[in-house]
Amino acid sequence: MKLVKLTGIGASEGVAVGPAFVPATGWPEPERYRIKEDEIEAELQRFRDAAEAVTGKLSETADELRRSGHEEEAGIFEFHAEMAEDPELASAVEERIRSLESPEAAVLAVGEEYAAQFAEMDDEYLASRADDVRDVTGQISAELIGLGASGFGALKTPSVVLAHSLAPSETARIPKGMALGFVTAEGSRTSHVSIMARSMGIPAVVGVGEVLEDALDARKVAIDGGEGTAITDPDDDTVAGFERMSAELAEERAALDEYRYIEAKTSEGRRIEVAANLGSASEAVDALEWGAEGVGLFRTEFLFMERDDLPSEDEQYRAYSAVASAFGEKPVIIRTLDVGGDKDLPGVDQGHEENPFLGWRGIRMSLDTPDLFKRQLRAILRAAAHGNLKVMFPMVADVGELRAAKAMLQESRRELEGEGTRIGEVETGVMIETPAAAVCAAELAKESAFFSIGTNDLVQYTLAADRGNERLRRLQNADHPAVLILIRQTCEAASAAGIPVGVCGEAAGEPEMIPKLVALGVTELSMGAPSIPRAKKVVSGL
């Protein structure tokens, strides 16, 4: 036993201490490969029962996910359920059983045949279906062997789960209340495991890297999902510290509960809308539970990350409609793609950039890649038929860019109308994050329906201080006179044009910044959902 500190991405807030649990990986090996002639009928029946049981569990999981608003994940399980009850799979397995193969070995062999076929296809997306088939036939085989359908069968006391990565079929099988937190070697904030942790309300630290391998024999783990750290086999002082934090956090959350669903107003009666920043559609239900009155910033980058191809219009449409329908009449601001030279985009030659944050990114890239941009705009227009969507352009530096982007939106609208496709109305706004946009706010306001100030980038660009540079902490601060002047100017321009102005950077959720932002004229605050009740409390006290 040794104390090891693991550092990764804080993917879900919260603190927990508990025994470590490492799920068994892979599927159990069959112990028996051959059967006897007189066992055929009974073994055929056992196979059918096992396939039916697995199909039932998969469909149940799909229904559960759909009910809780996780449409994308539900689709995966539906596909898996169809595979588990596939008639061609069944007849191939039954044929093997009739030639005296054990059902648990037969189902794995047939799964492997299909997996090999898919893996051979020269289509990345299809090739990844190979793992889906193996996942499903592995579950049927495990059901036959009787080990339950996952490595979580042995999880009997509430524990912190340590794993290389966790597949949807695995997290879905964790017995209720048994996971206190997740620590994984792989993953990002938008990984499946992160989304699940946030919706389960338990802490998660992901992407800690290969060092996790050395910690797998740990007996106990303390995890801090806010900081993104986990300590294995912590000493008594560390445990006491974590337990104290955990209690404080629970107390703080309970005290803020009454503010969750209120409409925040200042003592003078100024109404301030408090909304959530979302990274993916799966976070919508949680955000509403935290009391979000809308989405002030829906980042679309997650659709483009961790993959080797570009998302289709339909895939984007599904993601945007999922969040639109979850929020109903409440407004959802979709920010068009904002990536630059610091992240690769397949099929787009970004070239090497010395200064990616000052480079070809946001609206600059979108205007230069009209096919990519229009695919996104078309998806947004179609999704707008299912809710109250608005579109926001990032990195705008002058009114010419705004006009060009609006012209492309108009063109996409006309195309869709020509095709007879159902679309909705969308308002267009500008993300104020370059100092240029703040300085030209009066001009931009005349052609925008709303503004949203992205304080993180506005601070970095105004103070010429890299967001990621630890030594510049002092300058990574929205509470700087230069930044406050730009915010005030933006608010004045918005007010003169009669349009709302939000803040969607970190500052919007900071209790000490909220009074200043409201005083400067901000009308909406958008933040990570768990900060919403606290922000509403701060506004109510002004």
Residues that bind other proteins (CB under 8 A): 75-76, 78-79, 81-83, 86-89, 114, 118, 121, 123, 125-126, 129, 133, 312-315, 317-318
**What is the smallest separation between the CB atom of 66 and other proteins, expressed in angstroms?**
12
Pick 121 or 482: Cβ nearer other proteins: 121
Q: Output the six-digit token pair for 335.
A: 């920010």
Nearest distance from residue 311's CB to other proteins, in Å?
Answer: 9
Q: In the chain, how many H helices and how many E strands?
A: 21, 16
Whether 192 and 172 have beta carbons less than 8 Å apart is answered as: no
| Nearest approach, Cβ of residue 125 and other proteins (Å) | 6
Q: How does DSSP classify residue 158?
A: -
3-state DSSP call for residue 176?
coil
Tokens standing for 249? Answer: 């956090």
Q: Based on the number of CB atoms within 10 Å of its own CB, is 31 exposed (0-12), middle (13-18) or buried (19 or more)?
A: exposed
| Contacts for 18 with CB less than 8 Å, ≥ 6 apart | 158, 159, 160, 180, 181, 220, 221
Buried-state track 70-92, b at ≥16 Cβ within 10 A, e below 16: bbbbbebbbebbebbbbeebbeb
Q: Which is nearer to other proteins, 24 or 126 (CB)?
A: 126
CB 163 within 8 A of CB 52: no
**Residues 450 and 499: beta-carbon distance below 8 Å:** yes
502 with 275: CB under 8 angstroms? yes
Is the Cβ–Cβ distance between 256 and 274 less than 8 Å? no
Q: CA 397 → CA 318, 342, 402, distances in Å?
A: 31, 20, 9
Nearest to 279 by CA among 54, 504, 534: 504
**What is the set of active-site residues?**
192, 504
Nearer to other proteins, 59 or 229 (CB): 59
454 contacts: CB under 8 Å, gap ≥ 6? 297, 394, 431, 432, 433, 504, 505
Q: How many CB atoms lie within 10 A of CB 540?
A: 15
CB of 87 to other proteins, least distance (A): 6
User: Closer CB to other proteins, residue 85 or residue 233?
Assistant: 85
Q: Give me the residues paired with residue 432 across strands.
A: 453
Nearer Cβ to other proteins (76/444):
76
Query: Alpha helices of 18-173 — where are they, by DSSP H?
Result: 40-67, 71-84, 87-98, 103-120, 124-127, 129-145, 168-171
> In terms of CB distance, is 184 or 282 closer to other proteins?
282
Name 182's bridge partners.
161, 204
- Please report how close the Cβ of residue 85 comes to other proteins at its closest, in angstroms: 9
Cβ atoms of 501 and 494 closer than 8 Å: yes
Residue found under tokens 């999704």: 383
Q: Which is nearer to other proteins, 324 or 431 (CB)?
A: 324
The residues, any chain, with a CB within 8 Å of residue 5's CB and separated by 6 or more, are: 229, 230, 231
Min CB(458)–other proteins separation in Å: 36
CB 528 within 8 A of CB 277: yes
In this complex, which beta carbon is closest to other proteins, that of residue 120 or of residue 257? 120
Minimum distance between the CB of residue 315 and other proteins, rounded to whole angstroms?
Answer: 7
Q: How far is the CB of 118 from other proteins (least distance, A)?
A: 7
Residue 372 or 499: the one with the smaller Cβ distance to other proteins is: 372
Q: H or E stretch including 18?
A: strand 15-21
352-385 b/e with 16+ CB inside 10 Å = b?
Answer: eeeeebebbbbbbbbbebeebbbbbbbbbbbbbb
Q: State the minimum distance, in angstroms, from the CB of residue 71 to other proteins.
A: 10
Q: State residue 466 phi and psi, 5-degree precision.
A: -55, 130
Query: Least CB distance from residue 81 to other proteins, whole Å?
Result: 8
CB of 62 or CB of 409, closer to other proteins = 62
